[in-house]
Amino acid sequence: MQKKLRVAGYVKLEKLWERRRAQALEYHTKYYAKKYSDSTDFELVGVYIDITGRKEIKNRPEMLRLIHDCKEGRIDCIATQSRAYLAANTGEFCSLIRYLFDMATPIHIITEDEAYNINTIINEDQQKEELYRMAYSFTEMNPDEYRKWIEGVFLGIDKHVLQEGGHYGI
Task: Dihedral sign for Cα 30, 163, 82, 104, please.
Answer: negative
For the segment 36-59, what is each residue's pLDDT rounded down to a tens digit?
A: 999 999 999 999 999 888 889 999
Between 4 and 115, the more confident residue is 4
Residue 124 pLDDT: 78
Question: Is the per-residue pLDDT at 169 higher than 50?
Answer: no
Question: Is the per-residue pLDDT at 82 higher than 50?
Answer: yes
Distance of alpha carbon 136 from alpha carbon 141, whole angstroms? 9
Name the DSSP class of 3: P
Q: With beta carbons less than 8 A apart as the criterion, state whether 49 and 13 touch.
A: yes
- pTM, to two decimals: 0.91
Please, what is the average pLDDT of the chain? 90
Distance of alpha carbon 84 from alpha carbon 93, whole angstroms? 9
Distance of alpha carbon 161 from alpha carbon 167, whole angstroms? 8
Question: Is the per-residue pLDDT at 123 higher than 70?
Answer: yes
Question: Is the per-residue pLDDT at 16 higher than 70?
Answer: no
Q: What is the third-level CATH fold of 5-160?
A: Rossmann fold (3.40.50)
Cα 118 to chain centroid, rounded: 12
Question: Is the per-residue pLDDT at 142 higher than 50?
Answer: yes
Question: Is the per-residue pLDDT at 83 higher than 60?
Answer: yes
Domain edges within the chain:
5-160
Distance of alpha carbon 88 from alpha carbon 83, whole angstroms? 9
Q: With beta carbons less than 8 A apart as the criterion, state whether 64 and 58 touch.
A: yes
Cα 124 to chain centroid, rounded: 20
